[in-house]
Amino acid sequence: MQKQQFFATAALGFEPLLAAELIQLGAIDAKEERAGVRFSGDLQLAYKVCLWSRLASRVLLPLASFHAPDSDILYAEAQRLDWAEHLAVDNTFAVDCTTVHSQINHSQYGALRIKDAIVDQFRSRCAERPSIALEQPDLRINLHLFKDQATLSLDLSGDSLHRRGYRIDGVRAPLKETLAAAILIRAGWPEICAAGGALADPMCGSGTLPLEAGLIATDTAPGLLREYYGFIAWKQFDEELWRQLRDEALERQHAGLRRKLAPIVGYDGDARAVKAGWQHAQNAGLDKVIHFERRTLREFVAPAGARTGLLVANPPYGERLGDENLLPPLYNLLGEKLTKQCSGWKAAVITSNPQLGRSIGLRAGKINTLYNGALKCQLLQFELNATNRWQSLEEGAGKAVKKPLSAGAEMFANRLRKNLKKYRKWAGRAGVDCYRLYDSDLPEYAVAVDIYGDEVHLQEYRAPKEIEEHKAAQRLQEVQDALPQVLDISPAKIHLKVRQQQKGTSQYEKQSRRGILKEVQEGNCKFLVNLTDYLDTGLFLDHRSTRQLVQEMATGTRFLNLFAYTGSVTVHALVGGANSTTTVDMSRTYLQWAEQNIALNHFDPDEEELIQADCLDWLEKVQSERAAAFDLIFLDPPTFSNSKGMTGNFDVQRDHVELLRKTVTLLAPGGTLIFSNNLRSFRMDADSLPELQIEEISGKTIPLDFARNPRIHNCWLIRRQ
């Protein structure tokens, strides 16, 4: 078979493990890259990786690579490919896009141009076109843009490979199956299992870790249960080759299930989780291999007769208010159980909270960095022997809490102290308890530190490719060491996120499901923020001065807030004395949040107009009935949007002229439109809007804590001539 290049994507931290796995599967020239591994082999190998890889998320077959500095070239180059070689006209397809450091900097727009190129090619040849299907398309195409270099690939996996096929619909796992496999492989489970060792998970939830351990122990291909792959409807699909690989995998599974294995057990105090675990095991054919039981951590005992093994756990990281008090004892109890029940075993515990990890009371021999979604986590590995003595929280209570900072951490701490001295007094005078304390002030420490009362929202910017992962991890740890000491807060009150270029609206999508809202003060207004669930908290701090401007202009006005998010600008308008407010956003979640913000400031949400709608569609529909209906309008559209609720896509640079014309029709004579956006390369096309008086006020709307970054947003006052 012909040798080809492939790329297997994976979560950060998986790369060396994935490279080793691919070589074991027969790959040639496996080369680690950020978030994946490039490798060579034939089509049989690609099918085999889709079937057998426990770590890969997707397997991509590159079709073409070319320079694409703009969308027209991207479109033209995509049309050079003969898509009829891959896709039938009666098939469905979808396009995914990622873009990094490229002039085409909107992933959904890049995907749209590829879709257009494919559809137009089919129309020109046969007057028909294949349809789009976002869920399980016959063919999934991947576009990756890096520094204007485009790579077009077929996604042979079709759907993320972490979906093994055994999970019950609606049961959400705290860990992806690929992360569970990475934890087990890092912890040496394949070797422990081969030597006759057992496995126990004392907080198993719906069973992801024991189930992945069972698949490994029985030599079951993780993709054996999946019915959908991206290559099944591909025109070059080799059905006979795939059948042979599946038959071989079935034979290996049957042989593995006949082996005598040491116990694999999962315990949890939640009966519903245990029931789901049993159902998952039955679906996976592992109900005779894995034992699930309702049992609390305090009731945990090692499986009878198991002299060696691996204890693996994914305890809670600190999800609810009060957890900072409840969780250290839980982690300490876990350490006690490890010592007393699992002597001679190994243990692996994953957590995103290093302070909680230290509460286990044991010395970790190895610490690996892995990502659970956007959360950067530590995998703590322990040797449970006589020399690793467990320490209770009471024993450690008299010891100094503060540890000496490294030279790098001390350098970061000094900058924090300098910034704190500058901003804390200013924030106090302004009555503001949420502000940006630090934003990559030192190039080595590429993080943003936002203060929200007595808590911190810490965002780690994705490090450049040339920065080695261990060096970036070390610097982040130094940041996490310095912050509690400088700010005199518990590490549990530091909420870490990883900020990178997002697809579409993913910055607004949930990272977890904690739902905890915290009240913060902004001058004479109060707001609710969420520091855990989203990359953004519900309050854009860089718009603080713009919100204040709205408040100053709002007296006696009829106010309209478009693309309103959580309604913070509406609150300022109400506090400023607006006679009426209309708030429009597509998200029901954010409109409910806006209602809460309005009520928090002692206004009645039922007396205000809150409309759930696509703002672009709403503007189109109300051109006549709402003409000249508003005295003050705040318009802050996204840079790009192609969300499910929209009928088309929106690009602020391309579409701002039409958007402003439609919005201005709703403006009363003498009224003012405040237009803002966050596209740093944005250029206002004033020549196309001669009927408007346009005054840029960007510099006047940048707050002191964002002055280091004057391009954080753009802002204009717009009135009719």
Lowest mean pLDDT among 165-174, 227-236, 239-248: 165-174
254 HSE (CA, 13 A, CB side): 6
Domain end marker among 373, 395, 417: 395
Average pLDDT score over residue span 19-28 = 94
**How confident is the model at residue 509, as a pLDDT?**
39
CATH number at residue 419: 3.30.750.80
Taking 80 as the threshold, does the pLDDT of residue 466 lie above it?
Answer: no
Residues 296 and 344 in one domain: yes
45: CB partners within 8 A, 6+ apart: 6, 25, 26, 27
Domain end marker among 395, 425, 442: 395
Lowest mean pLDDT among 440-449, 512-521, 645-654: 512-521
Token couple for 475: 């610097």
486 sits in which H/E element: helix 469-487
Q: What percent of the chain clears pLDDT 90, i.e. is strictly above it?
A: 76
Answer for the pair 376, 460: CB distance below 8 angstroms, yes or no: yes
**How confident is the model at residue 618, as a pLDDT?**
96
Taking 80 as the threshold, does the pLDDT of residue 463 lie above it?
Answer: no
Taking 90 as the threshold, does the pLDDT of residue 1 lie above it?
Answer: no
Answer for the pair 490, 515: CB distance below 8 angstroms, yes or no: no
Answer for the pair 143, 152: CB distance below 8 angstroms, yes or no: yes
Distance CA 635, CA 663 (A): 8
Q: Does residue 161 belong to any structural domain of this protein?
A: no
Residues 24 and 145 in one domain: yes
Residues 361 and 487 in one domain: no
Residues 378 and 459 in one domain: no
Residues 188 and 288 in one domain: yes
Distance CA 612, CA 244 (A): 52
Q: Does residue 334 belong to any structural domain of this protein?
A: yes
Query: What letter represents residue 496's amino acid?
Result: L
Answer for the pair 390, 335: CB distance below 8 angstroms, yes or no: yes
Taking 50 as the threshold, does the pLDDT of residue 222 lie above it?
Answer: yes
Q: Read off φ and ψ for residue 3, nearest 5 degrees.
A: -80, 140
Average pLDDT score over residue span 642-655 = 75
Q: How confident is the model at residue 323 (pLDDT cuts 50, 70, 90)?
A: low
Pairing of strands 4-9, 149-155: unpaired
Token couple for 466: 């040339």
**How confident is the model at residue 713, as a pLDDT?**
96
Answer for the pair 632, 560: CB distance below 8 angstroms, yes or no: yes
Rg (CA), the chain: 28
Which 3 state secondary structure label does DSSP give 239?
A: helix
618 sits in which H/E element: helix 615-621
* Bridge partners, residue 293, by sequence: 267
Residues in the chain: 721
Token couple for 477: 């740890």
Residues 593 and 701 in one domain: yes
**How confident is the model at residue 502, as a pLDDT?**
41
Q: How many DSSP H helices and E strands does the chain contain?
A: 19, 30
Q: How confident is the model at residue 514 (pLDDT cuts 50, 70, 90)?
A: very low
Q: Does residue 578 belong to any structural domain of this protein?
A: yes
Total domains, the chain: 4
**How confident is the model at residue 508, as a pLDDT?**
37
**How confident is the model at residue 501, as a pLDDT?**
45
* Bridge partners, residue 145, by sequence: 99, 150
Q: How many CB atoms lie within 10 A of CB 580?
A: 16
Angle at which helix 407-430 crosses helix 469-487, to 10 degrees, equals 50
Is residue 275 classed exposed, middle or buried when 0-12, 13-18 and 19+ CB atoms within 10 A define those classes? middle
Residues 51 and 145 in one domain: yes
* Bridge partners, residue 59, by sequence: 8
Average pLDDT score over residue span 681-685 = 95
Average pLDDT score over residue span 151-170 = 91
Q: Read off φ and ψ for residue 127, nearest 5 degrees.
A: 60, 10
170: CB partners within 8 A, 6+ apart: none
First to last CA, the chain: 70
Q: What percent of the chain clears pLDDT 70, i.e. is strictly above it?
A: 93
Token couple for 204: 């198993």
Q: How confident is the model at residue 503 (pLDDT cuts 50, 70, 90)?
A: very low
Distance CA 367, CA 381 (A): 6
The pTM of this model reads 0.62
**How confident is the model at residue 396, as a pLDDT?**
54
Domain end marker among 339, 362, 395: 395
Query: What letter represents residue 67's amino acid?
Result: H
Taking 80 as the threshold, does the pLDDT of residue 470 lie above it?
Answer: no
Distance CA 547, CA 570 (A): 9
Residues 429 and 336 in one domain: no
Q: How confident is the model at residue 401 (pLDDT cuts 50, 70, 90)?
A: very low
**How confident is the model at residue 394, as a pLDDT?**
67
CATH number at residue 275: 3.40.50.150
Residue 704 is part of which domain span? 518-720
**How confident is the model at residue 318, as a pLDDT?**
67
Q: Does residue 459 belong to any structural domain of this protein?
A: yes
Taking 90 as the threshold, does the pLDDT of residue 393 lie above it?
Answer: no
Q: Does residue 69 belong to any structural domain of this protein?
A: yes
Residues 147 and 203 in one domain: no
Q: How confident is the model at residue 515 (pLDDT cuts 50, 70, 90)?
A: low
Q: Does residue 235 belong to any structural domain of this protein?
A: no
Residues 288 and 146 in one domain: no
pLDDT averaged over every residue in the chain = 90
Q: How confident is the model at residue 486 (pLDDT cuts 50, 70, 90)?
A: very high
Taking 90 as the threshold, does the pLDDT of residue 472 lie above it?
Answer: no
Taking 50 as the threshold, does the pLDDT of residue 513 lie above it?
Answer: no
Q: Does residue 507 belong to any structural domain of this protein?
A: no
Average pLDDT score over residue span 690-714 = 95
Query: pLDDT by residue (tens digit) across 519-562?
Result: 999 999 999 999 988 788 999 999 999 999 999 999 999 999 99
CATH number at residue 25: 3.30.2130.30
Q: Does residue 324 belong to any structural domain of this protein?
A: yes
Residues 211 and 277 in one domain: yes
Average pLDDT score over residue span 52-77 = 96
Distance CA 659, CA 653 (A): 10
Distances (CA, A) of 169 to 165, 279, 291, 697: 10, 11, 22, 50
471: CB partners within 8 A, 6+ apart: none
Which of the two residues, 511 and 32, has the higher pLDDT score? 32
Answer for the pair 348, 183: CB distance below 8 angstroms, yes or no: yes
Answer for the pair 134, 92: CB distance below 8 angstroms, yes or no: no
Residues 375 and 421 in one domain: no
Query: pLDDT by residue (tens digit) across 248-295?
Result: 999 999 999 999 999 999 999 999 999 999 999 999 999 999 999 999
